[in-house]
Amino acid sequence: MDIPNIVSRTHCLNLKAAGDYCHQEKHTDSSAPPQADGCINHATNNANPGLPAGRFIRAALTVTVRHSTLTCGRNDFLVLRIILFNPRSARSKHRIPNSILQVGASIHGKYEYVFVDGNLESDPWPVIQRYLDEGFDVFGCTVMPGPQLLQAIPYTKRIREFYPNVTTIWGGYFPSNQYKSVINSGYVDYVINGPGDEAFPRLLHALEHDKSAIPFIHNLIFKKDGAVIKTPLAPLVDQDQLPPLPYDYLNRFYPLKRYLGRTFLGKRTTAYHSSMGCPFTCSFCAVVPIYNARWKGKSAELIYKDIKYLIDEHGVDSVEFHDNNFFVSEKRTIAFSRLIRDEKISWWGEGRIDTIDKYNDESLSLMREAGCRMIFFGAETSDDELLKKMDKGGTQTTEQMMRFADRMKKVGIIPEYSFVLGFPAETPEKVMEQIDRDIAYIKQIKAINPETEIIIYVYSPVPTEGSALYEQVTASGFKFPEKLEDWLEPQWQNFDLRKNPLTPWLTPAMVDKILGFETVLNARYPTVSDFRMTPLKRKVMQGLSELRYRHNLFKFPLELKILQRLWKYRQPELEGFLME
């Protein structure tokens, strides 16, 4: 693995004395002898004579350079050093942080950077603080809605307070969609809106060399003279031309094996992301405003190459594909299935019912043979009119969803259907009627294919601006928080998890019914992904919930809740599939 090549810093090599190297700020201890974890001023680089010791030291990741604004004899320049932070997203058994991994790829070999994974640090703040004290000057943070905000917000705020010269950059779905509250917070300088593969290195380059170029960088949101500036979105890049993912480099910070655990798919499951965007425009989906119906995928060959590396070097035997829509191209799916078939791995991905229903039977059989165990689908609702309103692409129908569950049963791939209950309607009675219809429909699906996994969300209004649904939602009084810190309030955290949202038209009785049904359903049909559920535990849960399920008795299912808590039943939609 190459050590990142920090070109600009080699410039100062011509200077002879340490004191010449940095005379803008006083070195912490200029009399100290060269140290293995030392300062570029005082150590020599044994690995690469002729290069500053920092390069060697950085490889050991114990850089203790005090300042990064260097003034050398000829000209002043900044050498940016970057912290890439993945805030904690789950309590245990964590996925490889693909967002910061891919962002790291975009600057690998160009800038010095470090990974900090909040999932694998019991307390990431001291780690970040150490880097900041060592002179790192850019804090890049990836943010999803929900639990990640619990670290992202206070840490970034603290950085602004105690390290005011550090540039703070957020990327990911949360800041791209909620950019107003993020940028107006005063402590996030830039938001990368959508893919960061080109925008991020360009921004760093501009910060370093020419700030006036910043407004010309695509996919960027920032504040200038009090106004929020949103630059245009760049076309999606050819995913095969992206730089390779720096797995080995990440491995130095956090051994990859810590990300590979037992799931229902296999003993060493990894997560992989093979495409950006989605070609559809569902009106509730957070992907749409960012990607505008665009999708680009890596080729089957490249996916295979990466997975093969993980199999050979890290013993991976199963993969969760975290793409928004892995199955857009039948040709790509089939080519990948052919390549991976002999590796005998199991895999899971997210797709659309109407897309995969167009695949022919041979394709589906080949996918199964190649290890495709389960596919996640947005089934959404039992109402065809609502499906149309959601702009699901126009071809998904409730009749098709039933038929498709049966088709999947025959081919042996488990369909995972996600439903959103509690859509807005003209009257509260109509909202409740729709909830009842959805419950009845889900039970019908279960009768056709009992293996179908059901995921239930309570409606959280994240519709695309300008859509009919958006108008309806805002007209009914819904408003996102204006202050970034408000997202830390328990009600907004729950909103993000789509479990008890602040949806104005949903009465407590409606939310209770949805959540009660979910508890009973999870007990009657415990998810296959929670492999800790032994056959005995499953039997007990099923027995206890049978009556409630059959007679729609969803009120106060306390006995089931207690059991689920006792046995730590893991809902895959909240923290991902169980991993040990």
Which residues contact ligand B12 by CB under 6 A? 86, 89-90, 94-95, 97-99, 102-103, 119, 140-142, 144-148, 169, 171-174, 177, 192, 195-197, 200, 273, 286-287, 322-324, 462, 496-498, 573-576
At a CB cut-off of 8 Å and minimum separation 6, what does 100 contact? 84, 85, 86, 115, 117, 140, 142
Indicate the burial class of 512 (C-beta count within 10 angstroms; 0-12, 13-18, 19 or more).
middle
H-only helix segments in 41-110: 53-60, 98-107
- Least distance from ligand SF4 to the Cβ atom of residue 322, Å: 12
Check binding of 462 to ligand SF4 (CB under 6 A): no
Nearest of 524, 384, 394, 381 to residue 441 by alpha carbon: 381
- Least distance from ligand SF4 to the Cβ atom of residue 194, Å: 14
Nearest of 248, 250, 249, 310 to residue 274 by alpha carbon: 310
| Contact predicate 423/386, CB 8 Å | yes
Q: What are φ and ψ of residue 318, in 5° steps?
A: -160, 155
Q: Which stretch binds ligand SF4 (CB under 6 A): 33-41, 204-212, 278-286, 400-408?
A: 278-286
Check binding of 378 to ligand SF4 (CB under 6 A): yes
Check binding of 387 to ligand SF4 (CB under 6 A): no
Q: Smaller CB distance to ligand B12: residue 273 or 513?
A: 273
> Which of 3, 59, 182, 278 is close enough to bind ligand SF4 by CB under 6 A?
278
Check binding of 282 to ligand SF4 (CB under 6 A): yes
> Which of 177, 324, 333, 337 is close enough to bind ligand SF4 by CB under 6 A?
324
DSSP 219: S
Structure tokens at 9: 């810093």
Check binding of 285 to ligand SF4 (CB under 6 A): yes
- Least distance from ligand B12 to the Cβ atom of residue 145, Å: 4
Provide the mask over 338-367, with x wherever binding to ligand SF4 is found by CB under 6 A and - wherever it is not: --------------x---------------
| d(C-alpha 555, C-alpha 547), whole Å | 12
At a CB cut-off of 8 Å and minimum separation 6, what does 163 contact? 132
Check binding of 288 to ligand SF4 (CB under 6 A): yes
- Choose the one of ligand B12, ligand SF4, none that binds residue 288, judging by a C-beta under 5 to 8 angstroms depending on kind: ligand SF4
Structure tokens at 440: 């009845």
Q: Smaller CB distance to ligand B12: residue 171 or 501?
A: 171
Nearest of 352, 249, 49, 174 to residue 182 by alpha carbon: 174
| d(C-alpha 442, C-alpha 309), whole Å | 40
| Contact predicate 68/78, CB 8 Å | yes
> Which of 86, 325, 460, 545 is close enough to bind ligand SF4 by CB under 6 A?
325
Q: Smaller CB distance to ligand B12: residue 145 or 371?
A: 145
- Choose the one of ligand B12, ligand SF4, none that binds residue 282, judging by a C-beta under 5 to 8 angstroms depending on kind: ligand SF4
Q: Which stretch binds ligand SF4 (CB under 6 A): 171-179, 180-188, 215-223, 276-284?
A: 276-284
Q: Smaller CB distance to ligand SF4: residue 188 or 287?
A: 287
Nearest of 538, 530, 544, 539 to residue 575 by alpha carbon: 530
First to last CA, the chain: 29
| d(C-alpha 387, C-alpha 401), whole Å | 11
| Contact predicate 136/81, CB 8 Å | yes
Q: Which stretch binds ligand SF4 (CB under 6 A): 39-47, 160-168, 198-206, 285-293?
A: 285-293
> Which of 131, 280, 336, 376 is close enough to bind ligand SF4 by CB under 6 A?
280
- Choose the one of ligand B12, ligand SF4, none that binds residue 396, judging by a C-beta under 5 to 8 angstroms depending on kind: none
Q: Smaller CB distance to ligand B12: residue 270 or 363?
A: 270
Structure tokens at 187: 């402590």
At a CB cut-off of 8 Å and minimum separation 6, what does 322 contact? 95, 98, 271, 272, 273, 350
Check binding of 379 to ligand SF4 (CB under 6 A): no
| Contact predicate 401/417, CB 8 Å | yes
- Least distance from ligand SF4 to the Cβ atom of residue 386, Å: 14
- Least distance from ligand SF4 to the Cβ atom of residue 409, Å: 23
Instruction: Identify the three-state secondary structure at position 313.
Output: helix
Return residues touching ligand SF4 (CB under 6 A): 278, 280-282, 285, 287-288, 324-325, 352, 378
